[in-house]
Structures are given as C-alpha cells and as structure tokens.
Chains A and B, each alone.
Chain A
Amino acid sequence: MLKIKRTNCIVAVFNDDHVLLGALRTAVAKGYNIIDVFTPFPVHGIEKTLGIKRSNLGIAAFVFGCIGLCFGLSLTYYTMTYDWRINIGGKPNWPLLSFVPVLFECTILITALGMVTTFYTICKLAPGVIPVIYDKRATDDRFVVLLEDDARGAEIRMIMKENGAEEIRDDVHVTDNFPGPSPLKLR
C-alpha cells in the first residue's frame, strides 16, 4: 500500500554540482537548516559547507588493526607454543619471525572487516533496508537538497530558485517506494 504523508521539508533539485555548492553556501550563510544533500557522486566541498566533520573511521580502522594483530598473536602463540608444542627439527617453539605473514594477514583482515562493518552500521546500510528517497534522479544526474520548511519557507524557496535550483517542491513522504508513482507526480 502506498502511503503518502506531507512532511515539513523542501526538496530542491539542481542539475550541476557547482551551482549546488553555490546555493548551499548561500543557504548556510542565511542560516537555513539543510537536512541532507543527495548526490550521484561525492561532491567535494559540501561536507565543508555543511560543517560535517571528517569521519573517525580511521580510528576505528586502527583499533580493529590492533585487535587483529592481538588475535593473530594469541592464535599462533596458543596453538604453536602453549597448547601443543611440536618439535620440528629442534626449532624454537615461539618463532615470531615465521609468524609474521600470518600476523600481517590477520591484521589486514580484521581491519578491513571491522572498519567496513562499522561503516555499514553508522550509515545504517544493510541488505533489505528500505531507503527514503526524495528524488530517484539523485543516483543518476541530479543533486537533491533537503531543507527544513520552517517559518521562512517562502524565502527559502525563492533563494534556492535564485541560486539555480531547477525544481523546488514540498516533500511528500512515501512509505512504499515502488511501484507507486514517484513523489514527483504526487505533489
């Protein structure tokens, strides 16, 4: 069932990334509340304009790397040195150097898996998640800005139009994204 509910958001659609950046800068300067921007490719400068900080995923990667290294160390130590020592030609039972390849691979594996899982978790990305899509062309060739429709709604619309927005409309929240008509036609 298609459920359509009007929200207090304005959707402004742009057809060029530089026009979009200019409009965003204006909107930020005027103190409008920009909820989100949807683009088909990463447009550098938006995050700076909106004051979004650089992600801390690098720290997550480092922590997972340390966990991976500790995992590798404990695995090799437990199996080769602690649990069942095998005398291989009288060689040492804790040959750290020959563990290096395994330690390295464990570090990389846990770093990659841990960091990517963190990324999916904080972005709330998972198989089967039904996204809220404001304009289907945001993954094609349009740049979509979602603004809060507060008391200055009319002013926001005008400023966006002046700054090159191709199209401005009220947002409608569609719970079932498919196969119903797109929000475009339902406004």
Chain B
Amino acid sequence: MSIESPIREPLIFGDVNLHTITEDVCGPTEHKPTKAWWFGFTIACCGFAFGIFCFTWEVMFGIGTWGLNKTIGWGFDITNFVWWIGIGHAGTLISAILLLFRQEWRNSINRSAEAMTIFAVMCAGMFPIFHMGRVWNAHMFLPLPNDFGPLWPNFNSPLLWDVFAISTYFTVSLVFWYTGLLPDLASIRDRATTKMRWSIYNFLSFGWTGSVRHWNRFELVSLILAGISTPLVLSVHTIVSFDFATSVIPGWHTTIFPPYFVAGAIFSGFAMVHTLLVVARVTMKLENYITIGHLEAMAKIITLTGSMVGIAYGTEFFMAWYSGYKYEQFAFINRAFGPYWWAYWSMITCNVITPQLFWFRKIRRSPVAIFILSIFVNIGMWFERFVIIVISLHRDFLPSSWAMYVPTWVEAGMFIGTIGFFFWWFFLFAKFFPVIAMAEVKMIWKKTTTGKPAGAFLPLQDYDPDKAYQLADMNNPNYLDSAGGHDHGHSEHHHTEEPITH
C-alpha cells in the first residue's frame, strides 16, 4: 500500500469509513426526494416542456420561424450545438485522461461529470437534426441504402465526420459510464428493502457480484476504454472545429481551430461541472467527498484552459494582421468594433479576464466565487461560438449582402428547452443513480486519509491548506510506517509484501 505525503490535502474529509461512503451515496436514492429536488425538477420540466413546444413549432412551420437569412445561415442552432458539445467534453476528460494521469481527485467527480457529458451530447445532437427542417429525414445523415438510388453521404464533408464523431463519442461515453456504474448499482441492489427495488436494480446492475475475476477484468476494461477515449475526446471537438476551419470564410478558415476548440471545450465543460457540483455537493450533503480541494483542482484547469483560449484569441488577431489578407483583417476588426462588438467583449471578459481571478487561492477555494465565475465562463463560451459563427457570417465578401441576425422566440425557446432537458436528466440521475463512484472512492479512502496532519477524519471546515505543512506530523508512526492504519476499526494488521506463513 502506498501512502501519500501528509502535506497533500486529503481527498475525503470527515469521520468516514467504507460503510458511511455507501450510506452517503446510496442514501439519496433510497429516500423520498427533498423539496429542493422537487423545486429544481419542476423548473427543469417547465423548460423542457417549453422546448418541446418550440421544437414542434419549428417542425410544423419550418426553418422560416428562425431569424436566419440568406447571409447568416447558421445562428443560434449551431451556436448551441457547439456550446453543448463543448460542455460534454469535461466528463470524458475527467474519466479518461485524468485516469491515465492517475489523478485520484477525479474519483469523486467522474460519475456526475460523465453523466453530464452524456446529457449534454444529447442536447447537442438535437440542433443539427432539427436544423435540417425535415427531421423525418434525419436517417439520411447515415450511410444507409436509401430511396434515391445508390446515393451515399459525402465522406469528404466535415459535417458527415461530425455525425460519426458525435455518435461514436456518445456511444463510447455511455458504455464507459454504464460499465463503471455496475458495481455501485449492485451496492444499491444489495441494500434494497423491497422486492420491486431489488428487481429494478438487479436488472440494472447486470448481476454484478464483486468477484475478484470480474474486478480484474473490469479494471483492464476501464483502462483500455480510458486509453481509447482520450484520443476520442480530442478528436470530437477537432472535428467540430473542422466544420468551420475547412471553409474559406474569413474568421473560420483558421489552422489553430482544433487545439483552440478543444481547449475551449474543456474550459466550458469544467465550468459546467463546477456549476452543477457546487450546488449538488451541498444539497446532497456530499461535502466530505466533493471537497473544496476538488473544486480548486478544477478551478486550476479552468485557469489553464481559459488562458489557452485567451492566447488563441490573440493569435487569431495576430495572424489576421500578419497574413496581409484584408478580408481576414476586416473580419477581426469587425468582430471587435463592428455592430456585434458587445458579443465580442462579453466573450473576452467572461473567458479571458474573469477566470484569471482563480489565481487567488481565496477565490479558488470559495464555492460562492467559483459558482459565479463558472456561470461567467458558461456565458462567455456561449458568446465565443456566437462570435465565431454569426459575426464571421454577417459581413462577408459582398457588402451588398451584409445583414444582421436577430433570433426569434422559437430559437430562444429551443435553447431554453435543451437546458431544461439537460437538467431534467440530471435531476433524475441524481435521484436514482449513485452520483459518486463509490467503489473508486473506497479504493482511495485508506490511502488519502492515512497519516494526514490532523489525521484522517478531519472536519472539512478545519482544514487550512496553508497550515497543512506545519500540522504534518512527520513522526506519526502511521505515516513513517507506510503501512497505513488508524484505530477506527480498520487495518490493525500491517501489510507486508512477503507471503505470511504460519
């Protein structure tokens, strides 16, 4: 067993043991939902219902109900699509890339972040489908034999690559997430007190028992899925950026788009994870597992990716000037000082300036500040896509066709509808599924709480990262022994590598 440095912040706080982890995570699925849950769920349902109305309206009366025109063919719909897909990137980053980097703080947040990914990708997928107008022909996205003779989709087109990328991303994320859920669903099954509940969770948990042979394969499957999801998550937003970058529109025709979009996606995804978890950890009483340290770690990633996005904005401007291509130069001047200047400067403020506040530890560790800043990032990243799509289109090569774009209530309603849809799913998930990967948290429980300054079992509010070093008790036998163990009913026996023989 390995022991962490005592000055490293514990990942789990409070008087926690293996059983309390099960209690705390399974508890919310076993009790009646709280008032706060009903309140949130009702609002989400209203948004979702309004969305269904607007989607239906659009299908009945066509794309003419949107504010698009001849010049601006992509507006709210593609902006929302890219925004949602971007949000969907944090979950797989947390579950796959951070697994490969052995970042154990991911264990408390990967389940909910990945659920969020799946719901966000579902929201994203709706926009291109409904943008077709004739949604009943949506299957023509796919390379299926069809009624029009042997006519196939064009595999040279980035829009078709998108279909493959997003459907693969959704499927692989779902499989990864669900496979990880099996042990925890089995925990809920084994605690069931009614036949009905047992049957449902037994069906969902696929008959998981926790056998050593299953765990052995399970860990390998997780590792390989993480290995293949890592290039996948990078490929998805790369391919989304190709939708723009392979065109010749000034402002779109940019070679830095793939890394720039991937960084932006991770940026907005983590912001959404912040928004959800800052609230969920308090309302679901999970502060001991999703600690301030977890929020801080995510804030650091937000600062990093936000700065990368900031550099990308600068690079675009520089390249426009350096290329000597006057249409490109005009496109960027028009972005910052044209009629949509307010969108551009909202984007700069929310994406480049405000996340820099996370350099201050006080702000990085304050849930209220994190919540506010994460909302700023969500707004900023929405504006980023609006800026790229609408501002680049509205003044193109031919001044006589310059136009402005104003969304209609149908488009706004569809966006609200997907937000409602997203939260509708998230509330159901939080009620019926374990929101924390219990098995993974149990795995790090002993390691993260042993030999820590004030010992494990530290109440969260008593932890001060600045004083951790002074408090670290280097003479603590538990720490030096590298054997692990405190007297809380566990690990009285020291573990040695040699086989024990009697």
Binding site for B on A (CB under 8 A): 15-19, 21-22, 25-26, 28-29, 36-43, 46-47, 49-50, 52, 54-55, 57-58, 61, 65, 75-76, 79-80, 83-84, 86, 88, 91, 95, 98-99, 101-102, 104-106, 108-109, 111-113, 115-116, 119-120, 122-133, 136-141, 159, 162-164, 177-179
Question: B191: CB under 8 A from chain A?
Answer: yes
CB of B239 within 8 Å of the partner chain: yes
**Given A38-B209, A116-B179: A141 touches B443 (CB 8 Å cut-off):** no
B501 and A104 within 8 A (CB) = no
Beta-carbon contact of A159 and B231 below 8 Å: no
Q: Which of A88, A111, A124, A138 contacts B154 (CB 8 A)?
A: A88
**CB-based contact B155/A106 at 8 Å:** no
Contact across chains for B176 and A123 when beta carbons are under 8 A apart: no
| With A21-B495, A136-B190 as contacts: A123 and B217 at CB distance below 8 Å | yes
User: Which residues of the partner chain A approach B211 to less than 8 Å between Cβ atoms?
Assistant: 36-38
Task: Please tell me if the beta carbons of A138 and B212 are within 8 angstroms of each other in the complex.
Answer: no
A84 proximity list for chain B (CB < 8 A): 149-152
> Which A-chain residue is minimally distant from B446 (CB atoms)?
A17
B140 at the interface (CB under 8 A from A): no
- Residues of B bordering A, CB below 8 Å: 1, 17-19, 22, 143, 149-156, 158, 160-161, 164-165, 167-168, 171-172, 175-176, 179, 182-183, 186-187, 189-192, 194-195, 198-199, 202-204, 206-221, 224-225, 228-229, 231-232, 235, 239, 242, 438-440, 442-443, 446, 484-485, 489-495, 499-502
Contact, CB under 8 Å: B209 / A130: no
Residues of A within 8 A of B440 (CB): 41
Q: Given A102-B164, A106-B164, A125-B206, does the pair A141, B235 have CB atoms closer than 8 Å?
A: no
B209 pairs with A58, CB closer than 8 A? no
Chain B CB within 10 A, most for which of A28, A116, A131 = A131
From B152, B176, B493, A18 is in contact (CB under 8 Å) with: B493
Question: In the bound complex, what is the Cα–Cα distance between A133 and B68 (angstroms)?
Answer: 60
Q: A18-B494, A38-B210 are in contact. Are A133 and B17 (CB under 8 A)?
A: no
* Contact partner, B224, options A75, A115, A137, Cβ 8 Å: A115
- Residues of A contacting B: mostly: helix
Other-chain contact of B1, A18, A55, A133, A179 (Cβ < 8 Å): A18
Q: CA–CA, A157 to B219, complex, Å? A: 31
Question: What residues on A are CB-neighbors of B499 within 8 Å?
Answer: 25-26, 28-29, 49
**A55 → chain B, closest Cβ, in Å?**
5
Would you call B156 and A41 a contact (CB within 8 A)? no
Chain B residues whose CB sits within 8 angstroms of the CB of A127 once the complex forms: 203-204, 206
Which A residues are in CB contact (< 8 Å) with B202? 128, 130-131, 177-178
Q: Please, which residues of chain A bring their CB within 8 A of the CB of B442?
A: 40-41, 141
CB distance from A53 to the nearest CB of B (A): 9
A101 engages B493 (CB within 8 Å): no
Nearest to B176 among chain A residues (CB) is A112
With known contacts A22-B495, A39-B215, A112–B225 Cβ distance under 8 A:
yes
A131 in contact with B208 given A41-B443, A79-B143 (CB within 8 Å): yes
Query: A130 and B213: CB pair below 8 A?
Result: no
CA distance A81 to B147 in the complex (A): 20
Say how far A73's CB is from chain B's closest CB, in angstroms. Answer: 11
Q: Are A18 and B235 in contact (CB under 8 A)?
A: no
B155 touches A98 (CB 8 A): yes
Q: A9 to nearest B CB, angstroms?
A: 14
> Would you give the shortest CB distance from A135 to chain B, in whole angstroms?
9
Find the A residue at minimum CB distance from B188: A139
Chain A neighbourhood of B242, CB < 8 A: 101
- Contact call A112/B17, Cβ cutoff below 8 A: no
Q: Nearest-CB distance from B328 to chain A (Å)? A: 23
Check A105 against B212 for contact (C-beta < 8 Å). Answer: no
Nearest-neighbour CB distance to chain B for A112, whole angstroms, equals: 4
Min Cβ gap A122→B in Å is 7
Given known A-B contacts A109-B172, A139-B187, A140-B22, A132 and B221 have beta carbons under 8 A apart = no
Q: Are A179 and B194 in contact (CB under 8 A)?
A: yes
- Chain B residues with Cβ below 8 Å from A128 are 202-203, 207
Do the beta carbons of B217 and A46 come within 8 Å of each other?
Answer: no
| A-side contacts of B213, CB under 8 Å | 36, 47, 52, 123
Q: Is the CB of B152 within 8 A of A80?
A: yes
Instruction: Assess A42 versus B190: contact at CB under 8 Å? Given A25-B499, A101-B235.
Output: no
A88/B203 contact (C-beta < 8 A), A22-B493, A178-B192 known: no
Contacting residue for A105 out of B19, B164, B179, B225, CB 8 A: B164
A124 engages B207 (CB within 8 Å)? yes
A133 to chain B minimum Cβ distance, whole angstroms, is: 6
A162 to B500, CA, bound (A): 12
Residue of A29, A49, A80, A108 near B155 (CB, 8 A) is: A80
Residues on the A chain within 8 Å of B489, using CB: 15
